[in-house]
Chains A and B, each alone.
Chain A
Amino acid sequence: MARAPIHIAALISASLACSASADELVPYTIVGDGIPASLTGSTSDATRGRALVLARTTTCMLCHSGPFPETRFQGDLAPDLAGAGNRWSASQLRLRLVDASRFNPDTIMPSYYRNDGLVRVGRNFAGKPILSAAEIEDIVAFLATLRD
């Protein structure tokens, strides 16, 4: 019985920690042309990553196309994602999602894990990155499976 309140207190403090860290990004280390370490340190889910890539809210399919026969709403402003896992390592894919402007400052690909240096961000999005660290990891896991 005595353990229950402690457990609840731990849950509350954990959820507070989560909401407090909503505006703070997980620090990451760039090595060469990638980020070798996972942003979350926990296991990622390629199936969830596939669903995320296809979800309108992540914006991937606005510009990219890929081996997704179920959707005809695909963009052609950016490279086809087919074979992405051959072209790039997980480390390279991670940095390309986190901050593609490192490779080309004029790129139209947004930096998906960034929350500063932006202009007139809409109220609902202010201070938040486009994708969470966990979402980036799931998408990286999925893209790494796209091999020709």
Chain B
Amino acid sequence: MIVWRAIAAAIFLVTGPALLAAEIPPDARRSGYAFMGPDTRAMQDDDTANPGMLFVLDGEQLWKKKTGSADRACADCHGDARTSMKGVAARYPAFDKALGRPVTLDQRINLCRAIHQQATPLPYETRDLLALSAFVAHQSRGNPITAGDDPQLKPFVDQGRDLFMQREGQLNLACTNCHDDNFDKRLAGAPITQGQPTGYPLYRLEWQTLGSLERRLRSCMSGVRAQAYDYGSPELVALELYLMSRARGLPMETPAVRP
């Protein structure tokens, strides 16, 4: 009896935490692309039909345009984005040594503007910031996501994971309740995805525009009737970082199209 109890306890100790975590194994990770219909897939696949490509083209112009008191363009330091920016977005959010914390691609663009161009920051979700972000991230299309590999990011990845697992709002639901435990099912008729952020900034048909992952996270928070975190808040950056690390190995799709 005692032996059996000890074995049962040992099994519980080993499997207990894994059962609680319910995280998606690497080989079962799927982009939101896999959950959508053929029309939306076709729109994403064809660059002439993908509305996100208009933002990418705008971003290319902005990349070459001199701005700020320094009268300097992104291209003046970084050269041809096709080579210098390739794979960069797949590593973001990345650790910023000066700040001692992770920054998103949007924040990196605004840090560059402040420090090197002496220009004012572009507000979140404005066309210019989305366009620059889309242009930079587009250079990583097809590259596997590796964000979160830097060991300095570990505490921030953990913070994001805790937030992902935390029930919140009047409906008292956590991200994990839908996106780990119930993907492939339907919420009011719409498929629930795994929440893999492979194609941001992306064109959402519901929005009729390009939007950031932070916008998407805030709208999920409103959905569970929680007080959404502010754009650029440490919590949203940590969530973005955790989600990107959770999508490790999936190819970047920017600019993705989603329903």
Do A and B associate with each other? Answer: yes
Interface members, chain B 172-215 (any A CB < 8 Å): 172-173, 177-178, 181-182, 185-189, 192
Beyond A72-B189, A76-B186, A77-B187, whether A119 also contacts B226 by CB under 8 A is yes
Q: Does B169 contact A (CB under 8 A)?
A: yes
Q: Does B168 contact A (CB under 8 A)?
A: yes
- Point out the residues of chain A lying under 8 angstroms from B69, CB to CB: none
A119 touches B167 (CB 8 A): yes
Q: How many residues of A contact B (CB 8 A)?
A: 24
A61 to B173, CA, bound (A): 16
Beyond A75-B189, A121-B225, whether A110 also contacts B168 by CB under 8 A is no
Q: Of A1-9, A25-33, A86-94, A122-130, which binds chain B?
A: A122-130
Q: Does B222 contact A (CB under 8 A)?
A: yes
A123 to B226, CA, bound (A): 8
Total of A-B residue pairs, C-beta within 8 Å: 70
Q: Does A73 contact B (CB under 8 A)?
A: yes
B169 touches A119 (CB 8 A): yes
Residue-wise interface mask of A (58-95) relative to B, using a CB-CB cutoff of 8 A (1 in contact, 0 not): 01011100000000111111000000000000000000
A120 touches B169 (CB 8 A): yes
B225 touches A125 (CB 8 A): yes
Q: Does A12 contact B (CB under 8 A)?
A: no
Question: Which among B170, B185, B221, B225 has the highest number of chain A CB atoms within 10 Å?
Answer: B170
B227 touches A121 (CB 8 A): yes
A120 touches B226 (CB 8 A): yes
Given contacts A61-B188, A75-B185, A121-B225, 12 further A-B contacts (CB under 8 A): A72-B189, A74-B188, A75-B189, A77-B185, A77-B186, A108-B182, A110-B170, A118-B168, A120-B226, A122-B170, A122-B222, A122-B227
Q: Contact residues of A with B, CB < 8 Å?
A: 56, 59, 61-63, 72-77, 108, 110-111, 118-125, 128, 130
The B interface is mostly helix, strand or loop, or mixed, namely: loop
A15 to B26, CA, bound (A): 57
Q: Does B98 contact A (CB under 8 A)?
A: no
A72 to B167, CA, bound (A): 28
- Point out the residues of chain B lying under 8 angstroms from A74, CB to CB: 186, 188-189
Q: Does B166 contact A (CB under 8 A)?
A: yes
A121 to B168, CA, bound (A): 7
When C-beta atoms are compared, the residue in chain A nearest to B229 turns out to be A120
A120 touches B227 (CB 8 A): yes
Which single member of B166, B167, B168, B227 contacts A123 (CB below 8 Å)?
A: B227
A108 touches B189 (CB 8 A): no
